[in-house]
Amino acid sequence: MSLFWLILVGFGAFLFMEFMAWFTHKYVMHGFLWVLHKDHHAPQRKVFERNDFFAVIFAVPSFLGIYLGLLNSQPVVLALGIGIATYGVSYFLFHDILYHQRLKIFGDNMHWYFRSIVKAHFDHHRGKKNYGFLFMVPLRYIQDGYKQRKETQSKS
């Protein structure tokens, strides 16, 4: 299989993980595994939460894909593992660092798109609405963020 198709497989795995994150969050985390997820919605945050266990759960297929893909010279399996791992890293960077600022890196200097998805996520915490993570954010948040950006630029 050519490199192009392997990259496409990895990208497909990345995109599929957006659906898996939404599905798992809505039906598992806010369902039968709420006991692990509820501390994530608590007003007082800890360094480590029970919710962090989900990172371990999602890391298993990624690790297995990379490990077995390398061990058995299976480039498609490797590409799947890398795609899932890339989503996991993105999730950590955007959700834990950008949204919840578990590491204080960004401050107030955020791109308008990131502000939009942060607002959608905070609305989720207030009203338990379930949105996707990177892409499956309702369009109105994106439109509002872009509109606020334009208004800020016109005042400058």
Are 131 and 120 in contact, with CB atoms under 8 Å apart? Answer: yes
The domain tally of the chain equals: 1
Residue 92: the pLDDT is 87
For residues 112 and 146, give the distance between their C-alpha atoms in angstroms, rounded to a whole number: 6
- The span from the CA of 73 to the CA of 25, in Å, is 33
Chain segment 85-129, per-residue pLDDT in tens: 999 998 888 888 877 777 777 666 677 777 777 777 777 777 656
* Containing structural domain, residue 24: 3-155
pLDDT digits (tens, 9 = 90+) for 18-58: 899 889 988 999 899 999 998 888 877 777 889 899 999 99
